[in-house]
Chains A and B, each alone.
Chain A
Amino acid sequence: MAALEAGAGLGAPPEAGALAARRGSGRLALAAFARSRQARIGAGVIAGIAAFCFLGPFFYHTNQVTVELGSGTLPPGGGHPLGTDASGYDVLGRLMLGGQSSLELGFGVSLATTVVGTLYGAIAGLAGGFVDAVMMRVVDTFLAIPSLVLLLILVNLFTPNLWIIIALLTMLSWLATSRLVRGEVLSLRTREFVQAARMMGGRRSRIMFRHMVPNAIGVIVVNATFTIADAILTYSALSFLGLGLPPPHADWGTMLSNGLNYLFDGYWWLVYPPAIILIITVVAFNLIGDAIRDSLDVRLQRP
């Protein structure tokens, strides 16, 4: 219900607007989320897919450990609703297992990106002047180079595991976040309530965490949602280029790019199931981000 109140605040008299501002855009984002059908559909789909990946294996037991070449590339039917892959793994069970690491990758990258990017952007925006200029040129430098290009170099420098992949993807995606947060901080700096807090002798850390971050949180949340989608997609491109994680590991991107090798042999069940679930997941995250962004952008509100 609190969500409804904050939502009404958008079109309400100035007092209500001030109240919403005090509460920070976090509440607004939540309200926007609850109001938008698009966001609710996205969240529902994600919840369903997460349940499928994390709870599914408790009800649907499959062997995803030992290779059984004798029962490789069986078509759907019998004991395997979605058939088996070249190593004899059940595709449905593998989708669950792969989904776990795809989702972990997405959320891991998004969380780390948000923390690092927010801190960096907020510091640059608050510091201003020379420090800000130097910090932002560093960001510009990394942003100038496509992340996939940097990734292809960096992956060569490490023996990848899921954590290293998360770290590398984070290294390349916090930049956009930091830019956004810096922009928000720069515009918030001049607002009266921040100046009042500063005049009352509020410490920098207090201004930052008590006033800046809560007010920028809408933008941060939107960005975090898009980051999840992007991380899953970027990693799938990486595994298509043969630089993904080696076999015992399973994820949708790797399943899809391996499956594509068999597409023209007619093994369609190795291609379409991972493709469809990957695309649906990424679409769902993008829908959520897009819906929140639209509702936060007051200019786009209908009068």
Chain B
Amino acid sequence: MTWYLIRRAGQALAVVIGVLILTFIMIHMVPGTAARSVLGLRATASRIAIFNATYGLDQPLWRQFGSYLDQVLHGDLGTSYILQQPVSSLIAQRLPRDALLLGLSTALALLIGLPLGIYQAVRRNGVGDYLLSGVSFTLYSMPSFFFGIMLVAVFSVQLHILPPEAPQATSVGGMLADPRALVLPVLTLALINVATYSRYMRSSAIDTLAQDYLRVVRAKGLPERLVLFRHVLRNSVLPIVTIVGLTLPQVVAGAVVTEEVFNYPGMGLLFYQASTSHDFPILLGCTLIVGVAAVAGNLAADVAYGMLDPRIRHGGA
């Protein structure tokens, strides 16, 4: 197990370095120069020189990469061209709000998706299974922005029961103080993953249901409810751990769209606004954070999988 952890952590580290190199390359892929895209075509040569000197863009590439690494390792992600604030503090302000949005919606998605998947597996090829499959396919195939705006149209415009905008408080506590405003963004982000989770849960549970130990459990007369909760759920939920880790980047991408629809003041919105104003330090800072979070999430999922499932022994190999 220890050896497996070391090897797996080594791989994760390699990927983090890869993400760093990737973001660095992208800084330098800006057409023309960063200075031109920020200052505009009519900027004078001296203003461009000042801009380049300020952001260290006049140094040789290898030195720039060196100082980029040095900065990142000291927790400095550069300064926003437009907002003139440190990117790290801009992200730090928004990260808790994103954790709230992603956490709530993932929890909700699991809470709905897992029982649905088991139900579909038990009633496989029945009317309920077909109906739910149809619904989850449709949800999965729906552009999330369309889904979000439809929710606004129904619950805010027609029924007047939920506000169309996410809470605008600066702190997580403040956002939680306005739970009605959180409902629609969380629902939008959750329902897309409900389809993914219930789909995987369905096939995982179908696998489990075919196992011999379930026949034994049923034969000894355990009530069906206990069979499902104690044996089917616990055994089929394992692969989902990995799926949750793997869908993390997808959830983040969904968050970009959801935050734009509901004006949710998170990293996704920051990222989107930076993208339309060519604010590269913010774009790359967010990319780096998301990349590292995804690597950490996958690592955590793998390790959790190993710990949850005693059958998996990461022996010497």
User: Which A residues have a C-beta under 8 Å from some C-beta of B?
Assistant: 137-138, 140-150, 152-158, 229, 233, 236-237, 240-243, 253, 256-257, 260, 263-264, 275, 278-279, 282-283, 286-287, 290, 294, 297, 299-300
Contact = CB atoms under 8 A, between A and B. Distances in A.
B287 A149 contact: yes
Given A152-B283, A260-B146, A283-B138, A145 B19 contact: yes
A268 to B, nearest CB: 10
Interface residues of B, number: 49
B30 A157 contact: yes
A-B interface, 4 closest residue pairs, ranked by CB to CB distance from nearest = A141-B18, A148-B253, A146-B253, A282-B141
B294 A145 contact: yes
Given A137-B15, A143-B249, A300-B203, A237 B145 contact: yes
Nearest to A283: B141
Contact of B256 (A152, A157, A282): A152
B145 A152 contact: no
A233 B147 CA distance: 12
A294 to B, nearest CB: 8
A237 B275 CA distance: 14
Chain A at the B interface: SS class: helix
Contacts, number: 133
Interface in B255-306: 256-257, 260, 271-272, 275-276, 278, 283-284, 286-287, 290-292, 294-295, 298
B272 A241 contact: yes
B141 A233 contact: yes
Nearest to B137: A283
B144 interface: yes
Instruction: Give the most central of A150, A155, A290: most B CB within 10 Å.
Output: A150
B275 A140 contact: no
B143 A236 contact: yes
B15 A144 contact: yes
B206 interface: yes
B256 A148 contact: yes
A121 B230 CA distance: 39
B30 to A, nearest CB: 7
B143 A149 contact: no
A149 B290 contact: yes
Nearest to A260: B149
Interface in B6-24: 11, 14-15, 18-19, 21-22
